[in-house]
Amino acid sequence: MTVKNVTKVVVVGGGTAGWMAAASLSKLIGPNIDVCVVESDEIGTVGVGEATIPTMMTLHQLLKIDEREFMAAVQGTFKLGINFENWNKIGDSYMHAFGRTGQDCWAGGFQHFWSRGKQLGISEEYGRYSASYVAAKAGKFAALSDQSLSYAFHMNATLYAKFLRKMAEQHGCERIEGKITQVDCHSENGYIRSVTLESGRTIEGDLFVDCSGFRGLLIDETLDTEYEDWSNWLPCDSAVAVQTESVGEPIPYTRAIARDAGWQWRIPLQSRVGNGMVFCSKFLSDDEAIETLLNNVEGEPLTKPRIIKFRTGQRKQHWNKNCIALGLASGFVEPLESTSIHLIQRGIIRLLQMFPHEGVRQPDVVEFNRQMSDEFVFVRDFIVMHYHLTQRDDTPFWRHCQSMPIPDGLRHRLDLFKQTGRVFQEAGDVFAENNWVQVMLGQGLMPEQYHPIVDSMSDAELNHFLKGLTGNVDQMVNQLPSHQEFISNYCSTNSM
């Protein structure tokens, strides 16, 4: 044990990560500790990160955030999945929809029934058995109390940070504006003692949460924590982002459209659309990326295109001495599956569970780092899969993706699925069986076998079963209002 009685927490950075951490710490354990956030208006935030996954609700439930209030504050829309276009072949499209598809049984997931049905020519497209998919394609949505429609959010990241800041300040968190120019450590153990601002003000703390973005002011520049580089598996290293006017009603899903040397996102908000393109600088220059993006947006640009450079990977230690890195400071797997905010949330919940009230204990640090690393690795593998399984060979970038090495864990998963149709969700993996299956099938990886339990159904019974599922999905989706209609009644920004 090296630090006694953690009572003062300094959060460095006021982006999404900083304010998520500050709101959570001050609201949930605030009475026992002092929390402050240091942020620099001059440096600003990365300002992207507008699509989420359903797990975000976990933190919102902990913080007792009212969904309507949150959605109105962040000009939010609802997200039922991600539509992948041109990923397998040009002209192809599939959706990674949230929630269940079809019906599983003890022996395995619905894909086994679907595969047999496909052999017999009676299965429809896999997505037809998912209520989220069918509702998304129909532009329909409702937040149903029985949670039969699994969903996440699209939101304005800057407004989200503001929303959380208000909550943190209401719970006693102090916001300190200023640029940190110096960080001092205790000479005996190298723990961080204080940060000093350009103005000369020094802020001391017992525990430091590094949310300073890609630079990792504390975890990297001060503590020199090693970075595990994953660019050999994920070649994209750049992005360009631009906001545009909305040209129609918001769709209830994110679009991820593969381009010649990367992919483009479209995230509809209530008042505008967030657009961007993630690309590989070895195959596309910044100017070419800007041109490609601007040629492929719908509304008038509201901002200038902004280039963001990144290095895919993670810190070898997310928690080092008395510093815990969250958000971009802790690592980054590109935004293809909107997982960064989820990983921030996981880090926060873990920190709350292991909060070192009575001092930093090394076993906690080791456990925290093991769990964080596992989660990052599963996300990485899930994303590598999209690139690896492409059948596109029309550009040097896609040919490179096809021939790239892949991590051993992913290789095993793909082999297992291809030969048996089986997928198992491992501890620490945010993606469940049906998430993996949708992307594998969507990317053209068909299982060679299905579980023999399916053969206990006659062909006619299987047909009846499959038809019953699509019938139920249609019945449910038919009753839903349009996405726009639901937003107008439930959480319109205009009604604030």
Ligand X SMILES: Cc1cc2nc3c(=O)[nH]c(=O)nc-3n(C[C@H](O)[C@H](O)[C@H](O)COP(=O)(O)OP(=O)(O)OC[C@H]3O[C@@H](n4cnc5c(N)ncnc54)[C@H](O)[C@@H]3O)c2cc1C
- Among residues 14 and 442, whose Cβ is nearest to ligand X? 14
CA–CA distances in Å: residue 55 to residues 61, 68, 328, 390, 425: 10, 17, 19, 28, 16
Judged by CB under 6 A, does residue 341 bind ligand X?
yes
Q: Using the rule CB under 6 A, which residue among 63, 307, 308, 349 binds ligand X?
A: 308
Q: Interface residues for ligand X in 99-138 (CB under 6 A)?
A: none
Q: How many other C-beta atoms lie within 10 A of the C-beta of residue 90?
A: 12
Max Cα distance, the chain (Å): 78
CB of 239 to ligand X, least distance (A): 3
CB of 417 to ligand X, least distance (A): 26
Give which of 354, 350, 313 is closest to 226, Cα–Cα: 313
CA 309 to the chain's CA centroid = 18
Binding mask 223-262 for ligand X (x = CB under 6 A): ----------------x-x---------------------
Judged by CB under 6 A, does residue 322 bind ligand X?
no
CB of 330 to ligand X, least distance (A): 8
Judged by CB under 6 A, does residue 369 bind ligand X?
no
Q: Interface residues for ligand X in 24-43 (CB under 6 A)?
A: 38-40, 43
CB of 221 to ligand X, least distance (A): 9
Distance between CA 333 and CA 381 in Å, rounded?
A: 10
Give which of 395, 398, 380, 444 is closest to 418, Cα–Cα: 444
Q: Using the rule CB under 6 A, which residue among 50, 85, 220, 433 binds ligand X?
A: 50
Q: Which residues contact 478 (CB under 8 A, 6 or more apart)?
A: none
Buried b (16+ CB within 10 A) or exposed e, 477-496: beebeebbebbeebbbbeee
CB of 240 to ligand X, least distance (A): 8
Distance between CA 15 and CA 45 in Å, rounded?
A: 5
Judged by CB under 6 A, does residue 310 bind ligand X?
yes
Q: Name residue 202's amino acid.
A: T
- Among residues 239 and 258, whose Cβ is nearest to ligand X? 239
- Among residues 9 and 462, whose Cβ is nearest to ligand X? 9
Distance between CA 264 and CA 286 in Å, rounded?
A: 14
| Whether 234 contacts 384, CB under 8 Å | yes
| Whether 9 contacts 334, CB under 8 Å | no
- Among residues 233 and 450, whose Cβ is nearest to ligand X? 233
CB of 179 to ligand X, least distance (A): 4
Phi-psi region of 108 (alpha: psi -120 to 50; beta: other; left: phi over 0): left
Q: Using the rule CB under 6 A, which residue among 33, 203, 218, 328 binds ligand X?
A: 328
Q: Using the rule CB under 6 A, which residue among 9, 22, 36, 48 binds ligand X?
A: 48
Q: For tokens 């504050």, name the residue.
A: 73
Judged by CB under 6 A, does residue 273 bind ligand X?
no
Distance between CA 431 and CA 294 in Å, rounded?
A: 33
Distance between CA 334 and CA 336 in Å, rounded?
A: 6
Instruction: Count residues binding ligand X (CB under 6 A).
Output: 38
Query: Which range binds ligand X by CB under 6 A, 50-58, 229-237, 349-357, 380-388?
Result: 50-58
Query: Which range binds ligand X by CB under 6 A, 15-23, 140-148, 354-362, 473-481?
Result: 15-23
CB of 35 to ligand X, least distance (A): 15
Judged by CB under 6 A, does residue 345 bind ligand X?
no
CB of 371 to ligand X, least distance (A): 18
CA dihedral 320, 324, 328, 334 (to 10 degrees): 70
CB of 153 to ligand X, least distance (A): 10
- Among residues 52 and 390, whose Cβ is nearest to ligand X? 52
Q: Interface residues for ligand X in 176-195 (CB under 6 A)?
A: 179-180
- Site for ligand X, rule CB under 6 A: 13-18, 38-40, 43-46, 48-52, 157, 179-180, 211-213, 217, 239, 241, 276, 308, 310, 327-329, 335, 338, 340-341, 344
